[in-house]
Amino acid sequence: MDPRLKNLSYSSLLLLHSCPRKYQLQKLNVSSSEDDEDLSSSSSVTFAFGHIVGDGIQKVFEGYTEDQIFWSEFLMWDADLFAYNDKQKKSYWLGMLAIQKFIELRNNGFLDEYELVYHEGKPAVELGFCITFPDGFKLRGYVDAVLRHKITGEIVVLECKTTSATNLNAAQYKNSAQGVGYSVVLDDIFPELSSYQVLYLAYKTKSFEYELFPFTKSYLQRALWIQETLLDIETIKLYESAGVYPMHGESCLAFYRECGYYGICTLSTEHLTSQLTIEGEAKLVEDNMKYQVQLTLQDLINSQLSKA
């Protein structure tokens, strides 16, 4: 199997669930991004907006000044500076407004009972992890931030989200695999931890306000997540052995946009993808080594057993 198909993330597994054929084509197409092959102006603004708002919130917790944060996000912005997504109300300038509003909330005591955790002398923000599963599959990701309640000492994982939705529902986040899977970082920092909390901090771009969704996670949920991830891996192996990655027509249109492969996904795979070069394979190995927390499936199982 092409090793590119074995590099997993939360977003790529969502893609696998929505349309296996798109997962295959996107993974094997080096000209596309991992999360979305449509790099149109509005799409790139959407991604850039989420990146700077999330990074800005992290820097607020780290104690950066407002000027330092704004300069840092200006350097991070990788879309046209004056590009504007009118439908979702996202732009560089509105991203700065979102960060400024979070600074104001913090100054007024918002999440004041929490402090940033430090790991190996560094703030626990953008902590990268890589889990090695059997047959060379690897699951990678980043934790936005790890916080500690100043009074109770409860450990929480902070997940920053931006959304153009007007009304949010806890059901959008409660059973997300992201918050559970990212808890692997906690094993490295707090091996004795038996439960933890996930705080989803969602910024609503149309109403310019934040909403907080807290959920307590147990290690029973963690055990189920491990099994579900293994099932996803077996599914990919099944598709590969059959030589067929199913097309899910209900996913051809998402967020009012056609899939980038719509109309051509029935063509031969070799005409839609690129061959993996020796240099590309070496880069895959190098990229997987850059994550701070390196674990294996056996490490996860041992951790589960120690908490039983």
In DSSP terms, 276 is beta-bridged to: none
CA distance 53 to 99: 6
**In the predicted model, what is the mean pLDDT of residues 192-200?**
85
State residue 12's pLDDT score.
93
Sorting pLDDT into bands at 50, 70 and 90, what band is 37? very low
pTM metric for this prediction: 0.85
Is there a contact between 41 and 90 (Cβ–Cβ < 8 Å)? no
Q: What is the pLDDT of residues 242-285, one digit of tens each?
A: 999 999 999 998 877 888 899 999 999 988 888 888 888 888 88
| Dihedral Cα 102, 107, 112, 115, nearest 10 deg | 80
E strands within 180-303? 195-204, 209-218, 253-254, 257-258, 293-296
CA distance 200 to 145: 11
CA distance 144 to 131: 17
| Residues contacting residue 238 through CB under 8 Å, at least 6 positions apart | none
Share of the chain above pLDDT 70, in %: 95
Phi and psi (nearest 5°) for 295?
-135, 165
CA distance 78 to 197: 33
Could you give the 3-state DSSP secondary structure of residue 85? strand
CA distance 72 to 98: 15
Does 302 have pLDDT greater than 90? no
Q: What is the pLDDT of residues 146-185, one digit of tens each?
A: 999 999 999 999 999 999 988 999 888 888 888 888 777 8
Does 35 have pLDDT greater than 50? no
Could you give the 3-state DSSP secondary structure of residue 227? helix
| Residues contacting residue 27 through CB under 8 Å, at least 6 positions apart | 2, 4, 5, 7, 12, 34
